[in-house]
Structure 1
């Protein structure tokens, strides 16, 4: 029996927010807005790449917080419980999946990158994730604009030879 191989992208949420200038600036005024912007970007990326994405926000210093898991379109958002870091959640998650699954972890935390590599996953820095995301958006935009061009102009006259067009035009004018 063939085993289904899953492809995961696991994102250390606050690590990425603090690494991307636009999200970092937004977080100063609106942390929730910054989280939602990151979530929206990862949803788009996940739709385009087909990765199952998991964004982990830690609540390490939040008193009495319980683990909260939200299923969103194409992704899962996890808020860890009190005294649990995003790193420890990511490590625990990696232990729970098949060794055949493809896993990329997005973080700038060097220690976490080493642990991830030791567990057989790939690491991706915040900068690399941003570049991948921008490329995916660009390819999606190109794909949408080229399909729009096909829709905008799909006329019969574009597909007929000049002689046939001339005959049709003469028929039209005789009416």
Structure 2
């Protein structure tokens, strides 16, 4: 069971390439695929309570890199000439703590081994997608529970107390 203080580093483009829905979206628009990934991870973060950092590889794009929050998920675009793998390794070293688990989501075998060497636990793209699907089912169960429309407190009060409250409600002391 993952704890609230746990953290998850996600190789963004690795997930986009591995998840069928996102791979299809990528064919139309890479930006749409990124946004959908962030939406899915935001839902997952909201339910699991884990801190999530998504890293997108920008090593072939000039610039100094950037980081920001979208849907309360931390998003990092790597610096020029920095790969997502290198950034994830750096972040794993910085975020490693004994009091929490650090997970790295990637299907890159080499990156999985390196992350494990940094003290992180690995989770494949497929495993993360399954976990997100299971969390979505749990959320749907919670939302489908019938809501009691009756005032449950009223049923637990004595007649004397209910009468007194009713008089107060009507402004009669």
**Structure 2 CA distance, aligned partners of 1:70 and 1:88?**
19
Structure 1 position 134, deviation (Å)? 0.4
**Structure 2 CA distance, aligned partners of 1:75 and 1:141?**
22
**Structure 2 CA distance, aligned partners of 1:12 and 1:45?**
16
2:7 counterpart SS class? strand
Q: What's the TM-score once normalised by structure 2's chain length?
A: 0.81
Structure 1 position 44, deviation (Å)? 0.3
| Mapping of residues 45-84 of structure 1, within 5 Å | 45-62=44-61, 64-84=62-82
| Mapping of residues 119-134 of structure 1, within 5 Å | 119-134=118-133
**Structure 2 CA distance, aligned partners of 1:57 and 1:28?**
17
Structure 1 position 155, deviation (Å)? 7.4
**Structure 2 CA distance, aligned partners of 1:32 and 1:74?**
18
Q: Does the CA-based 8 Å contact 1:52-1:74 persist in structure 2? A: no
Q: Does the CA-based 8 Å contact 2:96-2:119 persist in structure 1? A: no
Name the structure 2 match of 1:173: none
| 1:155–1:99 Cα change, 3 Å | closer
Number of positions where the alignment pairs a residue of Structure 1 with one of Structure 2: 150
1:45-66: CA deviations, max 9, x gaps?
A: 000001000000010111x222
Name the structure 2 match of 1:164: none
Name the structure 1 match of 2:164: none
Q: Does the CA-based 8 Å contact 1:10-1:54 persist in structure 2? A: yes
1:34 counterpart SS class? helix
Q: What's the TM-score once normalised by structure 1's chain length?
A: 0.80
**69-78 or 131-140, which deviates more:** 69-78
Structure 1 position 31, deviation (Å)? 0.4
Name the structure 1 match of 2:14: 15
1:121-172: CA deviations, max 9, x gaps?
A: 11001110010000001101101111xx124x4378xx7xxxxxxxxxxxxx
**Structure 1 CA distance, aligned partners of 2:86 and 2:42?**
23
2:74 counterpart SS class? strand
Q: Does 1:118 align with 2:114?
A: no
**Structure 2 CA distance, aligned partners of 1:130 and 1:154?**
39
Q: Does the CA-based 8 Å contact 2:42-2:73 persist in structure 1? A: yes
